[in-house]
Structure 1
Amino acid sequence: MNVLLICSMGASTANMCKKIEGAAAQEGIELTATAVAMAMMNDKIGWADVVLVGPQIRFMLDKVRAAAGDKPVEAIDMMAYGMMDGSKVLRQIKGMM
């Protein structure tokens, strides 16, 4: 499964990618997570199976959904993001599938 995380600069979500991949590995799920800045979204959105938006740019959800077509798009749970809780975000991803 390919998961794209989008935030304003792509930096803070890079850490979340590692946490999600670690949680997925513990569950035996093959998952690759990549973080990009909003400005680079169109370069990677075709690769993704699931798209998550950082809570700091949740106001951009409609724009991301329009670019993603029929792919599931949600904002990352704010508490999970703040705590860098990869397991909780992985549960969110599984719920989106």
Structure 2
Amino acid sequence: MRVVLVCSAGMSTSILVERMKEAAEEQQVYLNVKAVAESDLRDNLHELDVVLIGPQVRYLEKSIKEKVEPTGAKCDVINQQAFGLMQGKQVLEQALNLMASND
């Protein structure tokens, strides 16, 4: 699964990226995940499965979805509590559930 986490500068999500990688390794799930600034998203849209938006930039959700949806990738805002507590396992599960959804 290829995932991009989007925040304002790509910094606050870097810890979450590492925690998601640890959770994926524990669950034996293939995960290619990185954090990017919203301004760099357009350059990172190729071959993605999921884009998760940091809650601090949820106001950008509509414009991000407009960029992401034509690629076929799924997009959602990261659960605020999971983000705040840097719960990589829960955010990984959010991404997996998003991938499994058919909407």
> What range is the shorter-chain TM-score in?
over 0.9
Percentage of pairs with the same residue:
33
- Please state how far the C-alpha of 1:20 moved relative to its aligned partner: 0.6
Q: Which residue of 2 aligns with 1:33?
A: 33
> In the alignment, does 2:52 pair up with 1:52?
yes
Q: Which residue of 1 aligns with 2:64?
A: 64
Q: TM-score, normalization: structure 2?
A: 0.91
Q: TM-score, normalization: structure 1?
A: 0.96
Q: Deviations over 1:25-50 (max 9, x none)?
A: 10000101110001101000223210
Deviating 4+ runs (over 3 angstroms): none
> In the alignment, does 2:79 pair up with 1:77?
yes
Measure, in 2, the Cα distance between the counterparts of 1:94 and 1:19.
15
Q: Which residue of 1 aligns with 2:92?
A: 90
* SS of structure 2 residue aligned to 1:12: coil
- Please state how far the C-alpha of 1:73 moved relative to its aligned partner: 0.3
Measure, in 2, the Cα distance between the counterparts of 1:14 and 1:67.
22
Paired AA for residue 21 in structure 1: K
Measure, in 2, the Cα distance between the counterparts of 1:74 and 1:45.
15
Residues paired across the two proteins, number: 97
* SS of structure 1 residue aligned to 2:30: coil
Q: Which runs of 5+ in 1 are unaligned?
A: none
